[in-house]
Structures are given as structure tokens and as C-alpha cells.
Structure 1
Amino acid sequence: MSFRPAPFRHTLLALTIAFAGHAGLAHAEVYQLPSGPLAATLNQIASQAGVTLSIDPALTEGKRSAPVSGDYEAVEALNQALRGTGLQLQGGNGGAYSLAPAAEAAMALPDVTVTASEQAAETAWGPTRGYLANRTATGTKTDTPLLETPRSISVATREQMQDRKVQNLDDAVRYMPGVIASSYGSDSRADWMKIRGFEPIQMLDGLPLPKGSYAMPKLETWNLERVAVLRGPASAVYGQTPPGGLVDAVSRRPQAESSHEVQVQVGNYNHKQISFDSTGKIDDEGRFLYRFSGTGRDSGTVIEHMDDQRFNLAPSLTWNIADDSKLTLLGQFNRDDTGGTSQFLPLQGTKLSTPAGKVDYHKNLGDPDWEFYDKTFYALGYAFEHRINDTWQFNQNLRYSKLELDNQIITAGNWVGAVDDDGTLQRGANIYDQNIRHFAVDNNFQANFNTAEVEHTLLLGIDYQRVNTDYRWQYGAAPASNIKNPIYGQDFSNVSYRAYQNYNQKNRNVGLYLQDQMSLDAWRLTLGGRWDRVDSDAVFYNADNYKDSRRDSQFSGNASLSYVFESGFVPYISYAESFQAEQGGILSDYDADFNAHKGEVFEPSTGKQYELGVKYQPVGSDILLSAAVYDLTRQNIVTTSTGGATEPVREVQVRGLELEATGNITDNLKLTAAYTYTNSKMTKVADPRDKNRALPLTPEHQASIWADYDWSVGPLAGFSIGFGTRFIGSSDNVGVGNLAWTEKEYGHSSAYTVYDAAVRYDLGQLDASLRGASVSLNANNLFDKEYLATCDGFYCYAGDPRRVTASLDYKW
């Protein structure tokens, strides 16, 4: 029997308010822009710096910019790009600029004072303007224009997350192509998503996060500056990653300009939450900068008698050691006390009819007196950068994190016949305990140099990971209940448990990588390779303490070629590989009582992908259009059946098409839209009945669009509205090898469409004394559509019902 740790006290919000009350303690940007089409480079600098620049295409046609490398204010950066072009900036009215031939400049540039907010050029790790991120380090580890990155990457910016009031990573990525968010419906425990058919790894500030079977950090999105999704393999840069892709989150980091924010929320299901964020200088010189963010939540959930409580703190400190050296300390603490809102619902009463009637998706079919999900996550690390000279720069990212989970949850039957005609429900009792200790460090040298006419951004690195996982899953028959009238407070002391999983596994991974991003005129060629060695040692306590170990080494490569047209049109082709060590292993040598006596660590899975795509950002615009087709293959993927057995699938193939449009169409209208077509099939399997079956949770079609409009003038000045719709197509989700004892239609999930909406008002429009304050009302699944997110042939999982949140924000 497991004993539940002491739950949160209901003073959680008061504690968060106290932290918020103490959070008010108290530039030129670094540019690394290679030579490129002049108009595109100038527009990029102007857009990022908030400078108005008018360009006559006749003046820039056929001209290329000079490289811009170093610390510059906005106007200085523009002048650097104009070196050798015969053009210069010309001042105009209202602080706007235009171009003129150097010998014919109509007037000298006026004296200007560029404030911090005006001169802050975008970097891959910093704030963005609106919905479009112009730069990213996802997939390359270097600060690269998103337009010129030859991979499928989507970015949810801080403003996009704020407009939609996202509560988790699933919320942040659900409008991106190729992504299935909340794949098991509403779940307060973790973020469950699929990218191109596979579960991604999650990364924070360039380093992987610990991940177990049910233990996941569930990042607090309030603390994030942006969330990027890379679709496709990335092992040539990051090492162990699945072929579908990864989620790369970037923390909100200390800023020199003082900024403070408090947000208070209330919503349905007794949702109450307060969040705060404060950043600025500690000393007058700005050598030390701080940031302190946090969130406290005390809420009910969509399931009766189940709470969702969170206490989160994210302190960070930047030390500007010298002009060429900077160290940023990054901390994270999460404490969650919640339950499994993604209930394991029986097929009868959801997918199948029963005389007892339909299951109410809001009813708790477990036992709140016995169930709990208590998780603690903390992490401490740093990002260090040092510019050695004009060519070389050294970077080091390091983090130690720990994840501790205690979980007891009831599953409501997993076979047809688990519900009697009178509604009596047979159930399972599950006890999960998982502790993960994770250390990761990444060191790399970056060099920017030329060889003849070719410009290089060379990356040479070595990284190391150490993961120690203790995992135990015990299962037994729980006391029966009823789907119409659940019975709580039952006696679980006589439940007989069997350990389906009980092991300790240690993984150590060292990787050496080399990448060269080359530029010749408008051509871009990237070549990369990485060698990894993985050592795995495991003790299977549920197999007579059998020990197994293995050593694997793997080379992963990538290559891409693209051409940057002056019009902003960039076609590309890429190839990438992946590999990933799988947790746990195969149990074997069973005796007559079905007790295992041997365990074997899984062989790592591998993947490869070919992708052909095009990106287009019209010159002078702030919107990015992209399209990609791909062919992806994965081998030795491991699946886990509902009965607890794990087994590898020999080969799976996924092909698809993805379309996306994201950005700021005008100063008032922001948009993100996506369409996905996915064709997946199991091509090499042990059981011939599984041949050519689609991957679970991988619909063939999906589409989404979100638009946000705000009025800056007129009688509606201060008002903003947002509206979105999400379509998820049907899918077949029966697990591998299960056709012998279930029917395919039991795992069929029907298509569904839901709508989201938001309305905001800037209270500063009412009175100048309220400047910085705003109110908003957000609704997800606006029309409260009832649907099943998925059925897997054993259980069904209800989709998110309507969630309504009212927020009061104050910034100063």
C-alpha cells in the first residue's frame, strides 16, 4: 500500500502573492547576420528593431548586404549592412528612414536617441514582436533566421501564448501543423502530444528534460518566452531524439529594461490563479540583471472531486562579466497536486451502448479518497557564453534536474463486458512510483569566418547526459463501482498487486558533433554529423533482480540545401537522421505463475527523413508562409500495450504534407493557420495482421486557424477579439498486436471540430491612471462540444470541455 504525501494547503495562492510582492527588486544587441540579399537583410534589422524603413526596390536590386557581426544599435546595424553598397540611410519625418545613393543623400541623418525597447533586436532566445519569430536556434543551436533554416519549425511567441491564455504546452502547440495536442484528452498530469506520429522529447533552453512513463515536468508556460516545435529527426545536433521531432521551450530571461507584471485569473471549475513576473537591473551599471516569475493555482477540474493545484517559481540571474562574457543562472521549481483528468473510461457507455446508459464525462469513476498524483520537479542550471575573438565564441549550457512522482489511479475496465447491465463497473488499481535524476551539459565552440567567397558558421561541440530512473508500476483488481452512481471511500487494503514494471535504469550518453552552415551568395548549405555512445545498465526487480547492460554507438547525419531569393522565397531540401535509447526492456522466461525471470534492455530506435519544402516571407512583411512534404521511417520503435507488455515494432513509415501561415498581417491583425495531411503505416511487424495499419493517434487530416484583431483608433479603441477553430480528423488507434482480442472499430476515433475565442480590453483607454491594466475573457471549446479525443481499443478518453477564463493583467 502507498501512502499519500501531505496535500497542498489552501494558502498556496497567499504564498504566491507574498512572493509576487517581493519580486519588484531591482542596449545594443548582438547581430550575427551573414551577407545576403540587401533588401531582405535591411528589412530584417528594421523589423526586429522597430525602425520604420522605406526601400525602393530599384536601389537594392542585385545588391548584397555586408555581414553584420557584433553589438550594434539599430541605426548602426543598418549602416553596417550598407557598407560597400553605395547606399546610405536618409532621415525622414517621424523618425522614419529611407535609402538614397551615398553621393545624393538629401539630408544628413538627424541625431537620434534609441531607447532600449526600440533598439532591442530579436535573437533566438529573446522576446519577439507579435506572432512571428524571425530567428531561432532550434535545430541548429546557432542564432539563425527562421526563414533560412531548412527545416519545418513552428514557434508560439509570448504574445501568441498571452492572447490565448495558454495553460500548458498542449495549449501552446495545438495550432501548429503536424502536431496532435492533448492526444489523450484533458489531462492535468502531463502534456501528451504527437509530432508526425511520434511522441516528442521536451527541451528547455537547449537541454533535454527528464521524461518517464508518467512522470513529466509539465512546464509552466507563464515562464516561457517562446515554444518552438521542430518536426523531423534532429540527432545530428541533439543526440537522442525521436524521429517525429522535439518541443524546444525558451525561458523568459533577465532584461536590462525594468518590467513588472501581475496576472489574476478566475474561471469555471473553481479555477483561481495568480502569476507574476519581474525583471530589471540590480545595480546601476547593469552588470547584474534579475528575473523572478511564478504561478500559484488552486482549481477544480473538469472531473468531479478532483483538484488541480500548482506552486511554481522560476528565478534567474544574469551576470554580465565583461563585454565579451555573460553567465545566466536559470532555476525552476514546480509542485503539482492533482489527478488523472484523462480518465481511462470503459468502452461501454462511451464507444459502445449499454443498458445502464451513457457515461457522464464529468463523473469521477475512480475514488477520490484513494487516488492522487503528487509530483515535484526542480532544476538548476546556467547558460554561459564567451566571445574569444572576432571569429570564435564558446558556449556552455548545464542543468541538473530531479523529478519525483507518487501516483495512484483507477482505470475503469479494459475489456468489453467490464460494465454490467445495471452499470456495475469492474476497475483496475494502479500504483506508479517514478524518480528521475538528470544531469546534462553541452559545450560548443562557434566560429564565423570566410574561405574565399564562402561564409561559414561552424559549430563544434561535445555534450554529456546522465539519467538515473527508478520506476515501479503495480496493478491489481480494484473494488467495483458504478458508471451512474460511483461509490467512493472503498477499502483497497485487500487489493493484490502485480508489478508489471519495476526496474532501475542508468543511461549515460556522450556525443561529439560538428556542423557547418555555409553561405555563398544566395545559396545556403548545411552539413552536420554527430557520433554518440550510449551505455545502459538495468536491474529488473520484477524478474528476480536480473541485470542487463548494453553499449550502443551511433552516427547521425544531416544535410540541407536552400536558395534565398531576394523576393523572400526560400526553397530547400533536407535529410536528417535520429536515434533514441528506449526505457525499460523485455521481460522473458516466465514460469507457470507468469513471473518473469529475465529482462533485456531494448535496442535503440533509429529514424531517417527526407524533406522538401519552401518558405516565403514577402519583403517588408511580417508574415511567414511555409510548405513541406516529407518521407519519414522509424525502426525498432517500442510500444506498450494496455496489459503492460512492451515490444518493439520493426519499422514504421510516415509521409505527409504540412502548410502553415504565421505572422502579423497588419499592425492590428495577427494570424496563425495550418493544414496537415499524414499517411502512416506499419511496414515491418512481427504480427502480419498489423501490416500497413496506421500509427495510433495519427489522423490523416487536421487543420486550424486563429486570428486576433485589435482596434487602436475609433470608438472601439482598446478592444481586441480573437477567434479560432481546430479540426482533427478520424483515426484508428488499436495497439500493436491486439487484433486477436479486440475489434478494430473499438479503437476508431471520429473527427471533431472545436472553436476558441477571446476578447480583451485595455483599461488605459478609460483613464490614464489605468494605463498598463487590461481585462480579458477566453473560452476554449466555445460551444462545449462533447467528443472523445481518442479510443484505443481498451479505453476511451474524453476531450476538453468548455473552459472559460477571466483575466486581469497589470504591467508597469
Structure 2
Amino acid sequence: MNTQTLTLSALTIAIAISYSLQVNAQDKAKEADEASIEKVEIVEKRSPFGATKTNTPIVELARTISIESALDIKQKGALNLSQTATYMAGVTGESYGYATRVDSVSSRGLSIPRYRDSIQELFGSYNSTRAEVYTMEQVELLKGPASVLYGQGSPGGIINYVSKTPTLGKGSEIVVSYGTFSRAEIGVDINSSLTDDDKWVGRFVGLYRDSDSQVDYVTDDTQVLMPSVSYMPTDNTTLTLIGLFQDTDSDTGAQFIPVEGTLLPLPDGTFLPDQNVYAGEPGFNKFDTKSSQVTLLGEHIFNDTTSVSFTALWRDGEADYHQAWPTFTGGSRYVNAFAGAQIAPTDTFVPRTFYQADNAFNQHALDVRVSKLFTTGALEHDLLA
């Protein structure tokens, strides 16, 4: 062996030792980093009363679904159902801006229907109470067509919210809050086992709110009572009865004020007052709603592969909607149909339309679902009927 070969061999050995030491040091540093990082593993299953009507874990679904838990809603400060959807991808919450009559949510550019515990809760517009987020365990938005699960609907998807129900081991709370526009609210959530053997569990959710809003004369006062009781005779059977009673006194936040004077200046270059301007008629305007509903949820697991669940709903209520709103259209003149005279809007005067609709609703619905797991070779299937 010559001197050059010996030198190369020594250099090769030195490089190999150096690389081995570096790899060993990197492995030890990686192990130290992994040991110092807190690992949080979340294991949860879908509810049979949720948007997909199955217990299949979300990571195994072939559908896109966004979920906001009660904690998410609280941390993000969502005050209504529309605001719970504002952080969901591809979803627009409060599609028409600030509103007190209804929650408007669109998915993938399309309006979507509203469900509670997998049963459609709203048909039409301005004829029902708004859902209160304090009564919800979570809000789910199933994106895309859902006619296989729900029948005729919207290609954009559906929004479904899961009611708070009795839960073993869950604590109770009293929440008092006060905020902008004199918004005073107290919420009560009491959860407790009713028997020593934990076969009967009860929960009571109550809400009282006395609040003004960002628009003069428009209030957002409501009272909600939601008692519920669950009976679990065995580990495989659960029956839950929920009562929900709501009384809301409000007005219309949308004043339909004109483009001129808001986005565009008036002829004299000025603008209308701030967004608190009220164009309605105090004493006439109102959007007062009342509703009573009873929901029965049931689930029975026959064995590891077969289960049945159902949702039954009875709902009754009324909505008295009165509103006067401006009839602006670019400052053009309007004809008084009774006197035949022309009316020319000015900076301080405008014609108004008076609208009144006293609606009532009554609903009975039943949804029964059977789930069956089976395998064919290497494939596992979850069949829902």
C-alpha cells in the first residue's frame, strides 16, 4: 500500500466516523425534541344525529364537512348561527350582513337549508324563531349535494346543529355577560345524573337576553327553556327527550336604506347618518316569534355490525312580522296610488312601503335509520338505509 492510498483510506474513515457522529447527534436531538413536544391525540366519532347520520369518523368520510364545537363557538364569540359559519372554508356566514330575522348561510355560493338533529327545522322565510347557539353542542356543515341523505335540497349542502343533551360526567355552568348595545344575557346549563345507577340523566339549558342592537329601536330580546332527559337502560340503548320553548321579541335589523347617502353621496355631497339609522315605524314594526317543540332521539346497537337510530320532531309556533321600509330607487319620483300625486323624495323625506305577515307553522317529522357494517374481501362497507 503506497502513501497516497493510505492517506485516502484514513480520510475515508475520518469522514465515515464524522458522518456517523452527526447522524447519531441528529437522532438524539430528534428524540429530545419529540420528548419535549406535547402530543394531543383526539379520538372521537360522529353522532348518529349529526349531518352524516352515521358514527363514521370524519377522517374516513368521502365528504367535506366542517364542524364548530360549543367551545369553538364560545372562543370565536359567535352570537348567532350565521356567525358560527364565518370561519368555515367555502362558506359565507351572514350572507346579507347584519340581520335579526333569520340566519342566512351559503355554501359554495348557494343558500342551504337548516336542520336540527338531522331533521329540517326551517321551511320558507320569516316564519320561525331563530336558533340560539347556546342550545347547541356543535354546528356541522355538510358541503355538496346531500339528497341521498336528506331528499330534495341545495347543491351547496346543509347546515345541521346538534342539541345539547344529557351527558354523564359533564359539569354545569352559569354564564353572565354584558356587551355592546346594552346586550345583557344570562345562560344556565345544568347537567346531572338523576339516579344512582346513572340510567337516567337530565339537563336544563336556559337563556334570558335583554338587548338593543346596532340599529335604533331594534331589540333582540329572547327567553329560551330547553329541558332534556336521557334514559339508558343498557350500554347499547339510549332514548333522549328534548323540550324547547322560545319567545323572542325583536324588529328588523335590515332597514333597506338606499345606496344614495350610504355608498354614494347625496346630491349635496353629504351622507346619511351612521348605520344606526332607523327607517321603520316604532309601534308598528316588529318581528316577534314564539315556538314550542319536542324532539325524541333514540339509538339501539344490536351488535358490532348493526344499529338503528331515529329522530322524531313535533314543532309549533308563530311569527308576527310587521315592517315599514323605504322605497328608494335612485331618487326617482313615485306616484301616490290614492291621490294620484307625485312624491319626490328629499334628504329628509322618502316614501315607505308597509308590510305585514302574521305566520304560523306546525311540523311533524320522523327519520328512522338502520346502519349495517359488512366486509367484502379487503373492503369494509357502512350501509345506511
Band the TM-score falls in, shorter-chain normalisation: 0.7 to 0.9
Deviation, structure 1 residue 226: 0.8
User: For residues 189 and 278 of structure 2, what CA distance do their matches in structure 1 show?
Assistant: 36
1:169 paired to 2:91? no
Equivalent position amino acid for 2:47 in 1? W
- Report if aligned partners of 2:47, 2:54 keep a CA contact under 8 Å in 1: no
Q: Which residue number corresponds to residue 301 of structure 1?
A: 213
Secondary structure in 2 matching 1:329: strand
Secondary structure in 2 matching 1:310: strand
User: For residues 385 and 240 of structure 1, what CA distance do their matches in structure 2 show?
Assistant: 25
Q: How does 1:299-378 map to 2 (within 5 A)?
A: 299-355=211-267, 357-360=270-273, 361-378=275-292
Q: Which residue number corresponds to residue 21 of structure 2?
A: none
C-alpha change, 1:217 and 1:302, in structure 2 (3 Å) is: same
Equivalent position amino acid for 1:435 in 2? A
Match of 2:47 among 125, 128, 134: 125
Equivalent position amino acid for 1:378 in 2? S
Q: How does 1:384-463 map to 2 (within 5 A)?
A: 384-417=298-331, 420-460=345-385
Deviation, structure 1 residue 352: 3.3
Equivalent position amino acid for 1:295 in 2? L
User: For residues 426 and 352 of structure 1, what CA distance do their matches in structure 2 show?
Assistant: 19
Equivalent position amino acid for 2:358 in 1? D
Q: Which residue number corresponds to residue 183 of structure 2?
A: 271
| 1:571-594 per-position Cα deviation (integer Å, ceiling 9, x unaligned) | xxxxxxxxxxxxxxxxxxxxxxxx
User: For residues 287 and 422 of structure 1, what CA distance do their matches in structure 2 show?
Assistant: 67
User: For residues 239 and 229 of structure 2, what CA distance do their matches in structure 1 show?
Assistant: 8
C-alpha change, 1:412 and 1:380, in structure 2 (3 Å) is: same
Q: Which residue number corresponds to residue 31 of structure 2?
A: none
Secondary structure in 1 matching 2:319: strand
Deviation, structure 1 residue 174: 0.7
Which is worse superposed, 208-217 or 337-346? 208-217
1:208 paired to 2:120? yes
Q: How does 1:580-729 map to 2 (within 5 A)?
A: none
Deviation, structure 1 residue 121: 5.5
User: For residues 340 and 392 of structure 1, what CA distance do their matches in structure 2 show?
Assistant: 49
Q: Which residue number corresponds to residue 34 of structure 1?
A: none
User: For residues 322 and 359 of structure 1, what CA distance do their matches in structure 2 show?
Assistant: 65
| 1:15-67 per-position Cα deviation (integer Å, ceiling 9, x unaligned) | xxxxxxxxxxxxxxxxxxxxxxxxxxxxxxxxxxxxxxxxxxxxxxxxxxxxx
- Report if aligned partners of 1:210, 1:437 keep a CA contact under 8 Å in 2: no
Q: Which residue number corresponds to residue 192 of structure 1?
A: 104
Equivalent position amino acid for 1:233 in 2? P
Query: How well do the aligned residues superpose, as a CA RMSD in angstroms?
Result: 2.4
C-alpha change, 1:147 and 1:389, in structure 2 (3 Å) is: closer
Specify the structure having the higher radius of gyration (Cα). 2
C-alpha change, 1:158 and 1:422, in structure 2 (3 Å) is: closer
1:239 paired to 2:151? yes
Query: If the length of structure 2 is used for normalisation, what is the TM-score?
Result: 0.82
User: For residues 119 and 181 of structure 1, what CA distance do their matches in structure 2 show?
Assistant: 30
Equivalent position amino acid for 2:279 in 1? L
User: For residues 407 and 381 of structure 1, what CA distance do their matches in structure 2 show?
Assistant: 26
User: Runs of 5+ in structure 2 lacking a partner?
Assistant: 1-34, 333-343
Q: Which residue number corresponds to residue 600 of structure 1?
A: none
User: For residues 444 and 453 of structure 1, what CA distance do their matches in structure 2 show?
Assistant: 26
1:383 paired to 2:297? yes
Equivalent position amino acid for 1:380 in 2? V
User: Runs of 5+ in structure 1 lacking a partner?
Assistant: 1-92, 98-117, 127-135, 461-812
Which is richer in helix?
Answer: 2
- Report if aligned partners of 2:44, 2:57 keep a CA contact under 8 Å in 1: no
- Report if aligned partners of 1:210, 1:217 keep a CA contact under 8 Å in 2: no
- Report if aligned partners of 1:158, 1:224 keep a CA contact under 8 Å in 2: yes
Equivalent position amino acid for 2:76 in 1? R
Deviation, structure 1 residue 355: 3.5
Secondary structure in 2 matching 1:286: coil
User: For residues 196 and 234 of structure 2, what CA distance do their matches in structure 1 show?
Assistant: 15
Deviation, structure 1 residue 308: 1.3
- Report if aligned partners of 1:306, 1:368 keep a CA contact under 8 Å in 2: no
- Report if aligned partners of 1:210, 1:401 keep a CA contact under 8 Å in 2: no
Equivalent position amino acid for 2:71 in 1? E
User: For residues 258 and 235 of structure 1, what CA distance do their matches in structure 2 show?
Assistant: 35
C-alpha change, 1:150 and 1:258, in structure 2 (3 Å) is: closer
Equivalent position amino acid for 1:343 in 2? Q
Equivalent position amino acid for 2:316 in 1? K
Secondary structure in 1 matching 2:351: strand
C-alpha change, 1:163 and 1:245, in structure 2 (3 Å) is: same
Give percent identity, aligned residues only. 29
Deviation, structure 1 residue 403: 3.3
Equivalent position amino acid for 2:325 in 1? T
| 1:127-162 per-position Cα deviation (integer Å, ceiling 9, x unaligned) | xxxxxxxxx942x31112212212221111111111
C-alpha change, 1:364 and 1:153, in structure 2 (3 Å) is: same
Equivalent position amino acid for 2:163 in 1? S
Secondary structure in 1 matching 2:71: helix
Deviation, structure 1 residue 245: 1.1
C-alpha change, 1:119 and 1:280, in structure 2 (3 Å) is: farther
User: For residues 201 and 179 of structure 1, what CA distance do their matches in structure 2 show?
Assistant: 13
Q: Which residue number corresponds to residue 262 of structure 1?
A: 174
- Report if aligned partners of 2:206, 2:225 keep a CA contact under 8 Å in 1: yes
Equivalent position amino acid for 2:111 in 1? E
- Report if aligned partners of 2:221, 2:250 keep a CA contact under 8 Å in 1: yes
Equivalent position amino acid for 2:355 in 1? N
Equivalences, count: 336
User: For residues 319 and 128 of structure 2, what CA distance do their matches in structure 1 show?
Assistant: 9
Deviation, structure 1 residue 119: 12
| 1:728-767 per-position Cα deviation (integer Å, ceiling 9, x unaligned) | xxxxxxxxxxxxxxxxxxxxxxxxxxxxxxxxxxxxxxxx
| 1:213-235 per-position Cα deviation (integer Å, ceiling 9, x unaligned) | 21243211111111111121100
